[in-house]
Amino acid sequence: MASSPRPAATAAAHRRGLIQRPPSARAYLSAAAALLVLAAVAFSRAGHRFPRPPATRRCRPDAEGSWSAGVFLGDSPFSLEPIEHWGISKADGAAWPVANPVVTCADVEDAGFPSSFVAKPFLFLQGDAIYMFFETKNPITSQGDIAAAVSEDAGVTWQQLGVVLDEEWHLSYPYVFTYKNKVYMMPESSKNGDIRLYRALDFPLKWELEKVLLEKPLVDSVIINFQGSYWLLGTDLSSYGAKQNREISIWYSKSPLSPWIPHKQNLIHNTGKMLSTRNGGRPFIYNGNLYRVGKGQGGGSGHGIQVFKVEILKSNEFKEVEVPFVINKQLKGRNAWNGARSHHLDVQQLPSGKLWIGVMDGDRVPSGDSVHHLTIGYMIYGVVLVLALVTGGLIGTINCCLPLRWSLPHTEKRSGLFNVEQRFFLYHKLSSLISNLNRLGSLICGRINYRTCKGRVYVVVVMLILVVLTCVGTHYIYGGNGAEEPYPIKGKYSQFTLLTMTYDARLWNLKMFVEHYSKCASVRDIVVVWNKGQPPAQGELKSVVPVRIRVEDRNSLNNRFNIDSEIKTKAVMELDDDIMMTCDDLERGFKVWREHPDRIIGYYPRLSEGSPLEYRNERYARQQGGYNMVLTGAAFMDHGLAFKKYWSKEAEVGRQIVDSFFNCEDILLNFLFANASLTSTVEYVKPAWAIDMSKFSGVAISRNTQAHYHVRSKCLAKFSEIYGNLTAKRFFNSRGDGWDV
């Protein structure tokens, strides 16, 4: 909020002639209201987000969503799990483990091709290489093109090959298959009014038109070889009475290149209320049965995947039934890459014959979300404007009377569309309208006396409402899609384990903690270290990720760093259960840790210096311009590295000191890291905001700050005698990402 001008600045303004006379109280009120609204706009536009480094930029989704593609693996098409559940790691990209999505529009843009989303992916297996063909929407031309990527490690990492097929019309749904040792692609080209078959000249980069199969605007079409015939299934939007999702048409032929004969039952309707007949991926054969993938019902792009078992497929008869099909999906809403919907799946068996691989698209927001946000935002702006004008009239800062000269006829000549009588008639009507508006203005003008206590209360309340509405409106316009998304490194995403230590007196803290942080995008699971009392039942903790309660034998702060072989990620976020911060804060810290996995990445910096060392707070560190320690009550670390150091033989004396003071376990870990390195071992990430919930519960260990700091200074003295000094001071704002200011 802007402060009032200093007296010296005001005098200088008078000297420069900028202030001609003392402003009235009314003017002060008007200026204050304007400043509050402007401050709200600035604050809302900035939000609580920090700038993203260039390496983490993301393409802006359009009205159709923010689609991306993820990889799933399983022993069968009906037991697919996201790739992160398989624990596959890649040091190149700092992904331990690799997590979905594996292909995004940002990856396509990094390859030099503008993209606002990627969707409808198809796989093509060739030896050890797996190719992915998908639709990418060009935000410049507003049409879909076909792009490709290749993986040499069973779908874990993907190299972008760029756009491989671009026509003058929209393309999507790049169904790729082989016929007589040649590779063909049949993309959707309904905007051109036909369905076309392309043949690869230089796979996968160059294609040429082989044949126009049908002069019909088919969408989401596939060709399958089944029981000695080739079958083409698609949705024909040109048919009379056709609906976008509820019918398909079938043709059959001796080969993909031969004439196609329509099925006797076309159009084939799906009579189920929640079923969709439109294709949603490649049909597959499993245990001798043919299965067709369909789009889930729920709008233009669907909300899920359905699988149908084809029981009869003949030239005069077709019958299928839906079968159960469930894919493990994150329940994190907009924070999950596929939290809102998926509408496409291609699943194939890997050449080894042991695993099946599936590729699915997903979106975190529904269609039209960005337009919806803009509409609401501008509507709120309109309400703010009207409310500001009415308030100005009520307190008399705005003249409520319109000048009648606006309705007087002009005397100059006009070439005109109207004759004199028509012009005077219009002027008369306008004069009547202005008179009526002036009567209304006279009723409200100056009705609130801002000089009285009651009037000032009215003004303050209205100003607060204006600020709140402006913040909300600006958030809808500039706040994005409301998701707190993860930050990729070299196009790769990963996950971490959240670990907290608590006991029975802080159960209410724990419940809020688990419910909030389980929805953060990169949190794989939560480990609760239970130090004392009766642990809660699993049903008491509301979480969308697995929660494991590890009950300890004794109440010790050393338990925080106990070696735990059941932790499935390399990164652990140690976070006290009484600290609440945004998911975006966690995601930023996780990104910094992935860039520096050998360091402790924390949110609370400290600088301990002097002789003997003295424990000081963050304010002191900022006054001195740097830090050499971070609190591990909110810090990322490599649990294999950190926990091993903490339980090493050299740390035994330090652990005894921790038990004797029931304090300082975080200081000990900082010393152990510093003792093993000559360079910086800590990194600071500034949280947008953080709330210490222990202030409301009265169960904090460090209620008496002065006594707490005194104990920690004793720990510093003892640890420095055993392990030497901490590393040199690390300066704020030295990393270059703008997150350590």
Residue 662, phi-psi category: left (phi > 0), alpha (psi -120 to 50), beta (remainder): left
Closest CA to 557 of 476, 680, 655, 410: 655
Residues 327, 559: Cα–Cα separation, whole Å? 36
Residue 159: its H or E element: strand 159-165
Cβ-based neighbour number of residue 526 at 10 Å: 23
* Buried/exposed code over 305-319 (b: 16+ C-beta within 10 A; e: otherwise): bbbbebeebeeeebe
For residue 461 the two structure tokens come to: 């309340």
Whether 666 is catalytic: yes
3-state secondary structure of 151: strand
Burial of 275 (0-12, 13-18, 19+ CB in 10 A): middle
| Strand-pair partners of 348 | 357
Closest CA to 639 of 499, 501, 530, 494: 499
What is the distance of C-alpha 208 from the center of its chain?
Answer: 38
- Which amino acid, one-letter code, is at 161? L
Residue 695: its H or E element: helix 694-697
What is the distance of C-alpha 430 from the center of its chain?
Answer: 52
- For 201, residues 6+ apart whose C-beta sits below 8 A from its C-beta are 207, 208
Extract the runs of DSSP E, i.e. beta strands, from 611-738. Answer: 626-627, 629-630, 634-638, 682-684, 690-692, 730-731
Cβ(242)–Cβ(267) under 8 Å? yes
Cβ-based neighbour number of residue 64 at 10 Å: 20
Q: Considering 363, 577, 666, 740, which one is annotated as catalytic?
A: 666
Closest CA to 574 of 522, 639, 659, 530: 639
Q: Which residues are catalytic?
A: 666
